[in-house]
Structure 1
Amino acid sequence: MSISISAQVKRPYHNGSAWQISFIQIKPGMDAAYLNYLANDWKREREALKKDGQIVSYKVIQTEGHSGTDFNLLLMTEYRDLATMEANQSKADALAQQVIGTDEKQMQGYRERLAIREVLGTRLAREIVLEPK
């Protein structure tokens, strides 16, 4: 005869928002050109996503690069949770076509930005909201 006792572990936190974080290295002398793109096309797309309820917020964070191969800008997009982000991907693609243009136009813009910045990587992160004891 075996007795099974299961206890629920009380965690001192709960899951918060999901963040998509892109690590960008702006090429020397290209800050103004890249920030101009962010202030226009990138922001316009993020505002449309926010208005449509697909994202919660977005941020641009400038950092100091510690080496010639380090990132110097973070692009952060906040989603309610990972499931929402994944479920809305096709809606986000359709909205990008409305705001930015066709896939061809989007690819042309991407090729042009290769001259002014390099995307070093993108990560998904989940916020942990600490609860008081």
Structure 2
Amino acid sequence: MILAVIVLGMTAYAQMVMRPYHNGSVWNIAFIRMKPGMETAYLNYLTTDWKRAQEAAKQEGIILSYKVLSTESHGGNDWNVLLMTEYKDLATMEANETKADTLTQRVIGPDEKQRQGYRDRSEIREVVGDRLAREVILEPRKQ
């Protein structure tokens, strides 16, 4: 009997607790450092192959959106470009991995061509790191 009262009390309390937010989309964020004097070369790559692949993924419903943000770096090993790709959620991102690989093969080319492109880009930029981030949608505060 006491256990039932405790469980009912916990259930009632859980229903009263309102989170002032909800989860939004998931972002894959790449931190890039363009090498000195290579800004135009790297931005040319982003404008061509990278954008073409992002647009194709968007048309196929694999991603929601993408962004490129630039900033000044604060040291020799700091990033100065963010490449951001937005997915509906983590489950959708993971479920579409095979579809995304097939799309990349079609848009960019076979694995060897992709590897060569990666080697070529290593001359003009360095990938400092990457992160997955979940957007947090803040709800209006209720009085």
What TM-score, normalized to structure 2? 0.91
Q: Give the distance between the partners of 1:69 and 1:54, measured in 2 at CA.
A: 32
Higher mean C-alpha displacement, 2-11 vs 95-104: 2-11
Once the two structures are superposed, residues 89-128 of structure 1 have per-residue CA deviations (whole angstroms, 9 ceiling, x without a partner) of 1100000000000001000000000000000101000000
SS in 2 for 1:19: strand
Q: 1:29 aligns with which of 37, 51, 70?
A: 37
Q: Give the distance between the partners of 1:112 and 1:61, measured in 2 at CA.
A: 22
Q: Residue in 1 aligned with 2:110?
A: 102
CA shift, 1:38, in A, is 0.2
Q: Give the distance between the partners of 2:129 and 2:90, measured in 1 at CA.
A: 18
SS in 1 for 2:63: coil
Structure 1 runs of 4+ aligned residues shifted over 3 Å read: none
Q: Give the distance between the partners of 2:129 and 2:98, measured in 1 at CA.
A: 22
Mapping of residues 109-120 of structure 1, within 5 Å = 109-120=117-128
Q: Residue in 2 aligned with 1:125?
A: 133
Q: Residue in 2 aligned with 1:15?
A: 23
Q: Residue in 1 aligned with 2:93?
A: 85
CA shift, 1:72, in A, is 0.3
Q: Residue in 2 aligned with 1:65?
A: 73
What TM-score, normalized to structure 1? 0.97
SS in 1 for 2:137: strand
Q: Give the distance between the partners of 2:112 and 2:39, measured in 1 at CA.
A: 25
- Count residues in correspondence: 133
What letter is aligned with 1:51?
Q
- Give the structure with higher Rg (CA): 2
Measured on the aligned residues, the alpha-carbon RMSD in Å equals 0.8
Q: Residue in 2 aligned with 1:52?
A: 60
What letter is aligned with 1:22?
A
Unaligned segments of structure 1, at least 5 residues? none
More helix by share: 2
CA shift, 1:10, in A, is 1.2
